[in-house]
Amino acid sequence: MAAWADGYWWSKDGLRLHYRDYPGPAERPAILCLPGLTRNARDFAAVADRLAGQWRLICVDLRGRGESAYAKDPMSYSPLVYVQDLEALIDELAPGPLIAFGTSLGGILTMLLSATARQPLAGALINDIGPAIESAGLARIRAYVGRGGSWPTWLHAARGLAEGHGTIYPDYSIADWIGMSKRLCRITSAGRIVPDYDMRIGDPLRVPGGEAGFDMWPTLASLREVPALLVRGGLSDLLSADTAAEMARRLPKLEQLTLPDIGHAPTLDEPECRDAIDRLLARVLAGR
């Protein structure tokens, strides 16, 4: 397991936010890892274990997740506010050129950061999300996010996740589900295992347009000259094959990878993903 340092920064509205900082050479761009809606910095542990030392990785807990503070106003759980939080972190760290790895919501934030950044991203990985989001996937997310749940043991938590998400990872063993439960959940002071996020993070999604609130295609255009990788789960209900193809048409430097037997979203630790990430990072270093 790669070593990291815990880092903290403050949002404009006074929240103490957390990130994991995995060390790497200063002469290379740092990798900013942005998790999905209900996920946290631990979601990138396997990626960091493989890349840390060769690259600096900054793995973020978005507000309301992991070790970051919960917001007083649940409507601040929105992409534009997350981007403001990330811009405050970037301003504080001044890491120089950045590569963004974004899963689901993190992929939306990657596109927004690219469109609003003071300097272009050095590279981008977008994991199973696009400017057009499928309604079936949004309905599924709205149905489970913020519904809570608790379990007495990690095995019970793993079985609970498997019951709710088994169609996303049909080949997972119980050991895989235990690993996922430890990434997505925490132990309370009472000894119960619960999802590691504020149950109110889904509130904005239940407002019309709450998934982004505006047309995301123009933000994608900001990645036109950036080495990029799009990972798609072949069983995904959020990113369609048609949207992925249109993204590839618009971005000449985009490599597209589809994993046929995975839904939303790939973990980025699949062998095909590891190889594709290595190709992306090599392209970043080569300037292409």
Phi-psi category of 229—alpha, beta or left, where left has phi over 0 and alpha has psi -120 to 50? beta
Q: What SS3 class is residue 270? A: coil
pTM for this prediction: 0.96
Cα(239)–Cα(249) distance, integer angstroms: 15
- The pLDDT value recorded for residue 239 is 98
* % pLDDT > 90, the chain: 90
pLDDT above 90: residue 79: yes
Please write the tens of the pLDDT for every residue from 46-62.
999 999 999 999 999 99
62/41 Cα distance (integer angstroms): 8
pLDDT tens sequence across 222-253: 999 999 999 999 999 999 999 999 999 999 99
Nearest 5°: CA angle at 87, between 285 and 252? 40
**pLDDT at residue 149, as a whole number:** 86
Query: What percentage of the chain has pLDDT greater than the value 70?
Result: 98
Distance between CA atoms of 86 and 111, rounded to whole angstroms? 13
Q: Is residue 284 scored above 60 in pLDDT?
A: yes
Longest Cα pair distance anywhere in the chain, in angstroms?
52
pLDDT above 90 (res 203): yes
**Beta strands per DSSP E along the chain:** 5-10, 16-22, 30-34, 57-61, 98-103, 123-127, 185-187, 193-195, 228-233, 254-259
What single letter denotes the amino acid at residue 144?
Y
Determine the Cα–Cα distance for residues 255 and 253; give it in Å rounded to an integer.
7
Q: For residue 264, what are the contacts with CB-CB under 8 A and spacing of at least 6? A: 104, 128, 137, 168, 233, 235, 236, 237, 238, 239
- Inform me whether the pLDDT recorded for 210 exceeds 70: no
Which residues on adjacent β-strands are paired with residue 100? 32, 124
Is residue 213 over pLDDT 80?
A: no
- Residues 224, 150: Cα–Cα separation, whole Å: 44
Taking all residues of the chain, what is their mean pLDDT, rounded to a whole number?
95
Whether the pLDDT of residue 1 is over 90: the answer is no
CA–CA gap between residue 154 and residue 224 (Å, rounded): 43
Please check the confidence at residue 212 and state whether its pLDDT lies above 70: no
pLDDT at 272: 98
Cα(107)–Cα(35) distance, integer angstroms: 8
Q: In this model, does residue 208 exceed pLDDT 70?
A: no
CB atoms within 10 A of CB 200: 17
Which tens digit of pLDDT belongs to each residue from 17-45?
Answer: 999 999 999 999 999 999 999 999 999 99
The yes-or-no verdict on residue 209 having pLDDT over 80 is no
Block residue for tokens 């760290």: 93
Among 36, 216, 32, residue whose Cα is nearest residue 127 = 36
User: Whole-angstrom Cα distance, residue 148 to residue 254?
Assistant: 37
For range 112-116, the mean pLDDT: 95
Within 13 A of 286's CA, how many CA atoms are on the CB side? 9
